[in-house]
Amino acid sequence: MSGITQFTKGLFEYDELSRAVDRNHLPMGVLGLSHIHKAHFIHSLCEEKKRRALIITPDENSATKLRDDLLSMGTAAALYPAGDFSFRPTQAHSRDYEQRRLGVLSSMAQQTVDVVVMSVEAALQLTIEPHILRRNTMVIEVGSEIPLDMIADDLVAAGYTRCELVEGRGQFAIRGGLIDIFPPSLEYPVRIELWGEEVDSIAYFETDTQRRTEQIGQVLITPATGILYESPESLIGIIETHKATLKGKGSVKAKALLDEDIEKIRNGIRIESLDRYMPLLGNGGSTIFEHAEGYMLIVCETSAVKTHAQASEKILLEDIKAMFEEGVLSKGMDRFAITFDELTSIYEKKHAIYFDNLPRGSFDTPVKNLVTVSARQLPPWTGQLTDLIEDVRPAISKDYRAVVFAGTEKAAKSLTQELQDEQVTAMYFPVVPKEFPAGCVSVINGSLSFGFEYNASKALVITYGSRQANLGSLRKIKKKNKKRLKKNQLLQRKNSLKS
């Protein structure tokens, strides 16, 4: 276990949670956890138990913030965003959210992610079934053969867009014997070089320079869309069969729109409103939970999760009703998410753990145990050395393990020296050790959204500024008045849902 996980040792409430997980004495409620304590308990529980977890939060902002803190603590965490469905035939649409979702599902299948954080809206939405995802994932290895005349058709059928240069996920390019592909599950695109039809080399490359970087032996090419079908002819057949079932009021409009799509498909035009065919194609009948066998399920702020779920459900139903009137959707093409009642059934099946800050009545399912944690969430340190010394000196004099997330490596080394110059026992750790020394200030790279303190385990964690320092900002500790960079990578979508 890492030194950060060691901070839970001696906490009665965490020990109770740990035993409940071991004995499957769940569901269980844990109160008194502010945001940063939730992150710390999740990190510690997954590392100690060597288990993976799904985390449900009220909205995308809280999910992103939690994912970032988990990453800073050393957890392999990913954000599973809510999808942005495209139903109307004329609706311009980006597939970015869908591809990010597929990327997370692929990472789960490959077991390269330990914690998946999502808003309740994302948790409710239907997605591709696990066996269909596996069936449509290609493995390309050095030495294998690729028929060049077929690969383009296969990639288009998997939802990829052909381009001159690959610049984003879901794109591919073919230039002579070079095939560039950017699968949703990868951080960087790959370049496959052929010698005839044999794969001679595979390497990552950077989109801005188009230059190759790391050589790899194989790559998994996952689908770039969750709406898959065998062939254009098979899709036409499915639409024709559905059209024949439509009767009564609204069927004329619906049939006319279906005929328009059939004509586009016959002319080789990819339709932008494929999402509406998800219920007919049968490959959108799962949620993320079917991809998460053996994962723990943790629900953060249960009351807010319920409120946002009900609001999301209401908005979707209103949209579906409006599109029924327009003929865009029809009976049989109307299920794109599960209900909150269905979600609570999943809570029971997966023996959910509830993490809340304050008690707000009963949980969504009966719990077998309930504990309340006594801990403090600390505001970020502003960079004033005197303020930091005032906080850490009393702690280390009582043999506390004090840790400071100081931002960049340069800032962390500089802070260690400054503390030592002020006769404060301090050590710099380039990576998190297995255990932090007591009676000492341990300085490490990175940053969290907040610090925290546990008196019971004599642990004090202080973080500098905001986590922008952890994302490459080169701010120095002594520059007090420099404005913080705004977070421009948070996924903003329906984060102010009203019931």
Tell me the mean pLDDT in the region 290-316: 96
CA 92 to chain centre: 25
Task: Tell me which amino acid residue 379 is.
Answer: P
Tell me the mean pLDDT in the region 33-62: 97
Tell me the mean pLDDT in the region 195-204: 93
Burial class (CB in 10 A: 0-12, 13-18, 19+), 423: exposed
pLDDT band with cut points at 50, 70 and 90 for residue 324: very high
pLDDT above 80 (res 384) = yes
pLDDT above 50 (res 322) = yes
pLDDT above 70 (res 489) = no
pLDDT band with cut points at 50, 70 and 90 for residue 467: very low
> What are the backbone dihedrals phi and psi of residue 79, each rounded to the nearest 5 degrees, phi first?
-95, 125
Distance CA 155, CA 139 (A): 13
Strand order, beta sheet including 198-205: 161-162, 171-175, 178-181, 190-195, 198-205, 212-216
> What are the backbone dihedrals phi and psi of residue 451, each rounded to the nearest 5 degrees, phi first?
-95, 180
Distance CA 386, CA 301 (A): 36
Crossing angle of the two packed helices 251-266 and 232-245, in degrees rounded to 10? 170
| Whole-number pLDDT of residue 469 | 38
CA 430 to chain centre: 27
pLDDT above 60 (res 468) = no
- Nearest CA-CA partner of 56 in 126, 121, 142: 121
Whose tokens are 């794969």? That residue is: 199
Query: Residue 191 corresponds to which tokens in the numbers above?
Result: 């370049």
Mean pLDDT of the chain: 89
Is the Cβ–Cβ distance between 449 and 35 less than 8 Å?
A: yes
Distance CA 434, CA 401 (A): 13
pLDDT band with cut points at 50, 70 and 90 for residue 270: confident
| Whole-number pLDDT of residue 93 | 65
pLDDT above 90 (res 94) = no
Tell me the mean pLDDT in the region 69-85: 95
pLDDT above 60 (res 477) = no
Tell me the mean pLDDT in the region 331-355: 96
| Whole-number pLDDT of residue 485 | 23
Whose tokens are 């009393």? That residue is: 394
pLDDT band with cut points at 50, 70 and 90 for residue 216: very high
Tell me the mean pLDDT in the region 335-344: 96
| Whole-number pLDDT of residue 199 | 94
- Nearest CA-CA partner of 155 in 176, 180, 128: 180
Burial class (CB in 10 A: 0-12, 13-18, 19+), 451: buried
SS3 at position 358: coil
pLDDT above 70 (res 495) = no
H or E element: which one contains 121?
A: helix 120-124
| Whole-number pLDDT of residue 228 | 86
Tell me the mean pLDDT in the region 440-461: 96
Distance CA 308, CA 302 (A): 10
| Whole-number pLDDT of residue 474 | 29
**Please, how many CA atoms are within 13 Å of residue 234, restricted to the half-sphere of its CB?**
8
| Whole-number pLDDT of residue 157 | 83
| Whole-number pLDDT of residue 309 | 97
| Whole-number pLDDT of residue 90 | 66
| Whole-number pLDDT of residue 91 | 58
Tell me the mean pLDDT in the region 209-218: 92
**190-195 and 198-205 as β-strands: parallel, antiparallel, unpaired?**
antiparallel
